[in-house]
Amino acid sequence: TGISVESFLSGIFDARASLTASHRRFNDDAPVVSLEIPGSTKNFKFVVQLCSWLTDLGSVTDQILYNHPNQHSGSDPDYKGWKKGFKIRFLVKSFLEKHSFALQAKSIDVTKIEKQQKKEEQLPCYLRRLKQVSPISIHCEQNSEELPEEVRNKIFFHYHHFCAVLGCPHAPIDEIAKLVKNKNLLINFFPRLSKGTSKNLKNIFINIQLSFFPDKEIQKHKFIVKNLITDETFKSFSGLDQGIAYLFAPVLNGKRHTGSMKNIIKDSMEKELLIMTIGEDFDSPLLIINISNDRAYICSSVGNKLNQELINKHIKTNNLTVNIV
């Protein structure tokens, strides 16, 4: 087209690059350049092509966040705020090394931010070994019209899973193939961790009972925290500790606890919980309530008998694509 790489990238980054303090991963040791693309574009392929091109030019992508519920709401199937757009993130040192020209118009002293980086650079994508991933709860908007056909009604276990399915030549294909092979350990038809008020979650829990367990009644049980977290019955339930921290945290940031999860749980060991199950046993999702402050959460086990039956009935794979049918 006659447009130089420098001009093209400078234009994109002048409009869309973010260096805000919130883009430091979980601390200041890993400052990132975040290239943000509006979710309204619905253009997953452009995101993959742009990231692939930057990789060809010598960048090493730290992470991509896709505008999809499996990325922005992997544990809560009813969370409506998942439409957060796309983000391609690079650790600052890596990006400056190849594309410093693209940030010259920024008023921020990028070199000062660069000196904060203590985290080592990522390996090239195709060499990465994926850490243990958390199960994905099937979202109520998995089939949303906001999603293009190539990702609609499909499950993605990791951001590299999108890359692989959408044809990025740098994706760690073998690692994604392992995840797809183990799909029965990574898909949940019930909430993995949904937090909220007891009133709202009771309504969701009743809907689960009516939809999936119509022949069983909701039962109530009382536990103290110490017994719940040490009982082998609940070992396979995802989000148990995070949920307890939410129930008893003195201060919340939205629906997230603030402070040490370990200390919050330690201080609440003797506190009483109301637990609701569907049926007499615990082979169903759990609704766990702190009756003293009206906070509650729903969690579940991927190994639940019905969940496994639903996976076998409704999930079909085609190479690396995981379809809901």
- Domain total of the chain: 2
pLDDT of amino acid 33: 78
pLDDT reading at 256 higher than 80: yes
Same domain, 199 and 260: yes
The pair of three-digit structure tokens given for residue 218, joined into one six-digit string: 């909701």
Identify the band that residue 20 occupies on the pLDDT scale cut at 50, 70 and 90: low
Same domain, 258 and 206: yes
Same domain, 159 and 275: no
Rounded mean pLDDT, 258-271: 97
Identify the band that residue 222 occupies on the pLDDT scale cut at 50, 70 and 90: very high
- Tell whether 130 is covered by a domain: yes
Cβ contacts of 220 within 8 Å, gap of 6 or more: 274, 275, 276
Tell me the residue range of the domain where 257 lies. Answer: 193-299
What is the sign of the dihedral through the CA atoms of 150, 152, 153 and 159?
Answer: positive
Taking the C-alpha atoms of residue 164 and residue 172, their distance in angstroms, rounded to an integer, is 7
Same domain, 163 and 21: yes
- Tell whether 315 is covered by a domain: no
pLDDT of amino acid 218: 98
- Tell whether 311 is covered by a domain: no
Same domain, 273 and 182: no
pTM over 0.85: yes
The pair of three-digit structure tokens given for residue 227, joined into one six-digit string: 């017994």
Same domain, 41 and 183: yes
